[in-house]
Amino acid sequence: MDVYEYFPDADFFREHWQVREWRHACAILKTDFPQEWEDITEALTEFRLRTHQIIVGGGRKSLVAEAIDSALLDPSRGWEERKFDTHVVVDGNDRASPTHKVDCYKNHVGLEVEWNNKDPFFDRDLNNFRLLFDLRVLSVGVIVTRKDELQDIFEGLGRGASYGASTTHMGRLIPRIEGGGGGGCPILVFGISKALYVEETKDEAEAALERYRRGKDEEREALRRSREQDRDARRRQQPVPRGLRRAR
């Protein structure tokens, strides 16, 4: 069966996304995890790659990853960032065996976005999916990255050097999966294509970046106030030493 026939809008995904699956990932998602499948396909249908997301400098998380993650992590959908506390017992000795956190997780389905990291991040993600699958807490692993053809757009924007051959893209991911990097875990991967690109004028891109930076400043300020309120609340809950009470 053509992999695109699993999608609610096969023509859209055929035109806009490169899709590859291993171990019947699409059939498992559509049959056993219909809500998670709907969440993923809706988020990817809504996504567009915009100029400002390409030209912005690096950080902890790219704007592309933020856009896709935020669509899934919307409270109404029920996805979450998840870290599992795993241990191995050898001859009665309990040893921590930590796994890496999954950026988007819901009901045994995990999704990672690798837009422009160093390509060993693929090894980390696949190994994590393999371990969690073997531990029966993950049924399907999903990775969203970029098609190799986007390099033409990066070069046109003067950003080609920032998206080198050794960064995360489909050409680096597929050989790893075909080489068994994901073990027995069903894997589904998506590559962002040129068809998703929305070119912005210089003014539009700068305005979008300004809105993004302003939003980040507001988030940091809100986090700072929240931490201050937590500290104040803890201080009020602390008992007053006896000596100070007598002095009053």
Structure tokens at 131: 């371990």
What is the structure's pLDDT at 131?
A: 93
What is the structure's pLDDT at 57?
A: 64
What is the structure's pLDDT at 138?
A: 97
**CA distances (Å), 65 to each of 113, 123, 217, in order?**
6, 18, 19
What is the structure's pLDDT at 53?
A: 93
The stretches of 157-201 forming alpha helices (DSSP H) are 170-178
Q: What is the pLDDT along the chain (248 residues), one digit of tens a residue?
A: 799 999 999 999 999 999 999 999 999 999 999 999 999 999 999 999 999 999 886 556 889 999 999 999 999 999 999 998 887 778 777 777 667 899 999 999 999 999 999 999 999 999 999 999 999 999 999 999 999 999 999 999 999 999 988 999 999 999 999 999 999 999 999 999 999 999 998 888 888 788 777 766 666 677 677 777 777 777 777 775 666 555 44
Number of residues that make up the chain? 248
The strand pairing partners of 21, in sequence order, are 188
Check: CB of residue 16 under 8 Å from CB of residue 22: no
Torsion sign, CA atoms 56, 60, 64, 69: negative
